[in-house]
Structure 1
Amino acid sequence: MAVLALAGSVTRSVAQQISKEELVLLTPEWKGDRFADGRPKVPDAILKRMKLVTLEEAWAVLKGANFKYQYSGGWQTINPDSVLVGRALTATFMPGRPDIHRVIDKKGHEKDGRVKSQNAWPIDMLTKGDVYVVDQFDMQEDGPTIGDNLGNSIYAKTGNGIVYEGAIRDIAGLKEIGGFTSYFRSYHPSHHLNNPDGDLNTTLVAINHPTRIGKATVMPGDVVLGRDGGVIFIPPHLAEKVVKTSEIVRLRDMFGHQRLREQKYTPGQIDNRWSDEIEKDFSQWLNAHLNELPVPKEQIQEYLKTRTW
């Protein structure tokens, strides 16, 4: 019943962000801090550590937790060798419909204090560390709502790029924004049309509601991890587990590879379940290299204390 009520609220709220109560209701497993609007606020420290996580490591954790539809591939990219990490702020567009568009415009301008055209409204809400995640139904000609002007605004607010289910424009200008690591479906030199009394092709129906990107379901506050041509959306309550699992795998791989180069162990010994002797050697190796490893010292000490592997 709650989901049905939420679906109906998209129409009732006419392009407003989801209410705090609804967002808390839909993210019950998140127990940490939230933004004032209820969006989960995964700590900056976790986001920083997430930059070293691979898509495979994140996918494995999510699959193990029965989250099967969080990955989306087949993207074009800006800064393909960089990693995109941040908290999702979502927006959903639909094919333009004049009657709905007029109502949303009127309410947004007169009651909600919004300015400019609808494509700018979600961007005005962005904060540092956000990733703007947009379902624009893969529209291409006359579809792009983001070019180099809004791209510069997005980057200034967030320090991040975008995940955009649609076409962008001004791609040369967007590439000039140094850290604008972004994922988009296509490029088209045209621009969107938003005149309900004339040419109209997109209408913004929801801000910070659940949305769909490719075959993935995205919630506001999900941690976005984009790298190597793909994007995965990590539920906030699983973000720390993803990071910790990745770090354990990374450390074990480093140790295993070093010992193989030294020919101390055979590939069969490293590829299979480690013996007590190898596990003890691994613990000693961690202690000996605390300040040299690509994992925070405090986390390694925690791992050594808990010894859950």
Structure 2
Amino acid sequence: MTRSDPVAVPQATLERLKKCGQGTLTTQMFRRGYRQQFMVGLTPLNKAAGRFAGEAFTLRFIPSREDKDWDLGDLKKRGADNVQWEAVEAIGAGQVLVIDSRNDVRAASAGNMLMTRMMRKGVAAAITDGAFRDGTEISAMDFPAYCRANVASTRPSYHRAIDMQQPIACAEVAVYPGDIIVGDSDGVTVIPRHLAEDVANTAYDQELREAFLFTKIDAGGSLWGNYPASDETLAEFEAWKTAGGTL
């Protein structure tokens, strides 16, 4: 993928990815040689906010420094030269803000004002490997926001937003602008853009097959012959699918 010629990811592909669980997606990535694409330790503030899939819009923090980020007498000065606010205004509908906060939870990466601005713009989700503030308010929003912790400390006390739309690390996972980010109540997986359609198709097929296999196990069936499926069980699955079985 190059920025001038990105691989197209149709909306239908994103919709299919949204139907796939994190375990399924990481299994499919592992089969392609990617051992760790799951953002370990990040959880949504609102577990009922729903599933999402969208392309990554990246933002990178470095440690703050007093002469660059804040004035003890006038925090309003942080409104000038503020890459964080630039990113919130630049991100588009359907995209996912992914913030590299260096796994540092000592200060918030954002709060409910920025979340509300993005939500109203149609942004799909916001993710940091640090912390958010205003957790009570964000947890009541219909907006997926993933973090390590909720803290009250203001961002400039420890973080400076330094650039956007560059490759970053988030929760020790490499994220490139345009990667496809998929999340649900269990967490978040990063899929390289050029693999999105292939992963969407095989992951959906796996989800469909396991939905059928679950009915066998739930009905009292043995693991042997059902998980993994024997040829006989796979034939039953194909018949179930032909009869209209779906997720």
Q: TM-score, normalised by structure 2?
A: 0.81
Corresponding residue for residue 268 of structure 1 = 224
1:3-54 Cα distance to aligned partner (Å, 9 max, x none)? xxxxxxxxxxxxxxxxxxxx71xxxxxxxxx7xx666552211111112211
CA gap 1:191/1:244 in 2 versus in 1, 3 angstroms: same
CA gap 1:237/1:190 in 2 versus in 1, 3 angstroms: same
Structure 2 counterpart of 1:84, one-letter code = F
Corresponding residue for residue 78 of structure 1 = 45
Q: CA deviation at 1:93?
A: 0.9
1:178-223 Cα distance to aligned partner (Å, 9 max, x none)? 2x11111222212123xxxxxx643322211110012211111111
Q: Is the 8 A contact 2:24 2:207 kept in 1?
A: no
Corresponding residue for residue 246 of structure 2 = 293
CA gap 1:191/1:243 in 2 versus in 1, 3 angstroms: same
Q: Which has the higher contact order (CA 8 A, sep 6+)?
A: 2
Unaligned residue ranges in structure 2 (runs of 5+): 70-78
Corresponding residue for residue 197 of structure 2 = 240
Q: Is the 8 A contact 2:96 2:181 kept in 1?
A: yes
Structure 1 counterpart of 2:130, one-letter code = G
Corresponding residue for residue 208 of structure 1 = 165
1:211-247 Cα distance to aligned partner (Å, 9 max, x none)? 0012211111111122344321111122222222222
Q: CA deviation at 1:57?
A: 1.3
Corresponding residue for residue 186 of structure 1 = 149
Structure 1 counterpart of 2:152, one-letter code = P
Q: CA deviation at 1:120?
A: 0.4
Residues 24-173 of structure 1 aligned to structure 2 (within 5 Å): 24=2, 41-81=8-48, 82-97=50-65, 117-141=82-106, 143-173=107-137
CA distance, structure 1, for counterparts of residue 218 and residue 186 of structure 2: 31
Q: Is the 8 A contact 1:40 1:221 kept in 2?
A: no
CA gap 1:97/1:252 in 2 versus in 1, 3 angstroms: same
Q: CA deviation at 1:160?
A: 2.3
CA gap 1:245/1:97 in 2 versus in 1, 3 angstroms: same
CA distance, structure 2, for counterparts of residue 231 and residue 173 of structure 1: 21
Q: Is the 8 A contact 1:39 1:220 kept in 2?
A: no
1:67-107 Cα distance to aligned partner (Å, 9 max, x none)? 22322211242222432322111011101247777xxxxxx
Runs of 4+ in 1 over 6 A off after TM superposition: 98-101, 260-263
Q: Is the 8 A contact 1:163 1:182 kept in 2?
A: yes
CA distance, structure 1, for counterparts of residue 204 and residue 158 of structure 2: 46
